[in-house]
Amino acid sequence: MYKYSLTVFLLLVTATVFAQQTVEQVAEKLAQEQLDAYNKRDIDAFVAPYADNVKVYKFPNELLYEGKTTMYDTYGRMFARTPDLHCRLVNRIVMGNTVIDQEEVTISKKDPPMNAIAIYKIIDGKIAEVYFIQ
């Protein structure tokens, strides 16, 4: 009986660890997909990882806007008018369903890049919340 209980326990622990890794892998994949699309200024690919009702905040809790349609319009205009736009990932932390990216964002080659932190919360396989610190 002891061997059976130990085996079940080890299987549960392994499954929990694997599930945690899977959540983190999905979270990191979504954050990277949107970053790659951002740097290509590909609006359709950029909004694809986001939930339809995504909420975007100025950290800690000032809602800037809500919804994928607003995001599409906002970033679509920005992509069109900023040919030098580029985001360099400085550091990334992934824990559970949360990704924290330290970024260096170039808007124009004439200006120095700005530093920012983006926090992405993933819910049901989509980026559901974003928090920006600048």
Positive or negative torsion for Cα 65, 71, 77, 79: positive
DSSP string of 17-86, one letter each residue? HHHHHHHHHHHHHHHHHHHHHHHHT-HHHHHTTEEEEEEEEETTTEEEEESHHHHHHHHHHHHHH-TT-E
Q: Is 112 helix (H, G, I), strand (E, B) or coil?
A: coil
Smallest Cα–Cα separation from 31: which of 85, 92, 86, 114?
92
Which CATH number goes with the domain that contains 61? 3.10.450.50
* Distance of alpha carbon 73 from alpha carbon 68, whole angstroms: 9
Considering the entire predicted model, what is its pTM?
A: 0.83
**Per-residue pLDDT tens digits for 2-56:** 565 655 554 454 455 545 668 999 999 999 999 999 999 999 999 999 999 999 9
Total domains present in the chain: 1
HSE at residue 11, side-chain half, CA atoms within 13 A, is 6
**Per-residue pLDDT tens digits for 72-131:** 999 999 999 999 999 999 999 999 999 999 999 999 999 999 999 999 999 999 999 999
Domain carrying residue 52:
2-133
Residues 110, 49 contacting (CB under 8 angstroms): no
